[in-house]
Amino acid sequence: MSNYSHLLKHILNFLDIKFIVLANTLGYDISYISKWCNGTKIPSLKSISTIHKQMSNLFATEIIEKKKGVLFFNEFNLEFSEEKDNIQETKFLRDTILSLLNKTYYLENPILEIEEKNEINFIFGKNDILAFLEDKLKSIFQKTVSSKLEFFLTADFIFSNLTPILSLLSTLKRKDTNIYLNLGIDLKQIEVFNDKKLKKIFYLINKYANLNIELYNNSNFKNLNIFLLKNEIAFQYSLNKKGEFQYITFIEKKNILEDISINILNSFREKDIIWQLANTKKLHKEGYRTLFYTSDFFNFFLVQGFEFLLPSFIIDNIANYAKKAKYSDQDLISILKLKIAWEEIFENSSINFFILKSSIFQYLENGKLTYMNIHYQTNLEERQAHYEHAIKILEKNPNIHLYIIEDEIFNKNNLVYNIGIFGNRKKMFLKNYRNLNEKTEPYFTIIKNQKVLNCINILFTKIKNSEYCKEYSVDELKHLWKKYSNMFFRLTEINKN
326: left (phi over 0), alpha (psi -120 to 50) or beta: left
- CA separation for the pair 186, 112 (Å, rounded): 38
Nearest partner of 316 among 374, 384, 393, judged by Cα: 374
The confidence band for 225, taking pLDDT boundaries of 50, 70 and 90, is very high
Q: Residue 223 in contact with residue 234, Cβ under 8 Å?
A: no
C-alpha closest to that of 274 among 431, 419, 152, 450: 450
- Mean pLDDT throughout 87-96? 78
Strands 211-217 and 178-185: parallel
| pLDDT at residue number 217 | 93
**Rounded mean pLDDT, 232-256:** 85
Compute the half-sphere exposure of residue 325: CA atoms within 13 Å on the CB side of its CA.
13
- Could you tell me if 213 and 203 are in contact, meaning their C-beta atoms sit under 8 angstroms apart? no
Element at 250 (helix H, strand E): strand 245-251
In this model, does residue 125 exceed pLDDT 70? yes
**pLDDT on residue 333:** 86
Q: What pLDDT digit, counting tens, does each position of 255-313 carry? A: 778 888 888 988 998 889 999 999 988 888 888 888 898 899 999 999 888 999 999 99
Q: CB-side exposure of 489: number of CA atoms within 13 Å?
A: 13
**Helix H segments across 217-309?**
254-267, 280-286, 288-292
Give the span between the Cα atoms of 404 and 364, in whole angstroms: 14
Q: pLDDT tens across 182-191, in order?
A: 999 988 776 6
- If we measure between CA atoms, which residue out of 289, 271, 282 comes closest to residue 423? 289
Longest dimension (CA), the chain: 101
3 state DSSP class of 68: coil
Confidence tier at 93 by pLDDT (50, 70, 90): confident
Between residues 255 and 335, the one the model is more confident about: 335
Residue 180 confidence (pLDDT) above 60: yes
- Answer whether residue 209 shows pLDDT above 90: yes
pLDDT of residue 116: 47
pLDDT computed for residue 131 by the predictor: 86
User: Residue 363 corresponds to which amino acid?
Assistant: Y
Residue 8 has pLDDT above 70, yes or no: yes
Average pLDDT in the 462-471 region? 91
pLDDT score of 323 more than 60: yes
Residue 225, phi-psi category: left (phi > 0), alpha (psi -120 to 50), beta (remainder): left
- Burial label, 110 (beta-carbon count in 10 A; 0-12, 13-18, 19+): exposed
Of 140-144, 278-282, 457-461, the one with minimum mean pLDDT is 140-144
Q: Which of 33, 12, 4 is nearest to 107 (CA)?
A: 4
Residue 49: predicted pLDDT? 81
Higher pLDDT, 286 or 420: 420
Half-sphere exposure of 382 (CA within 13 A, CB side): 21
pLDDT of residue 80: 62
* pTM, two decimal places: 0.73
d(CA 480, CA 335): 31
Name beta bridge partners: 216. Answer: 184, 273
Run of H or E including 458: helix 450-464
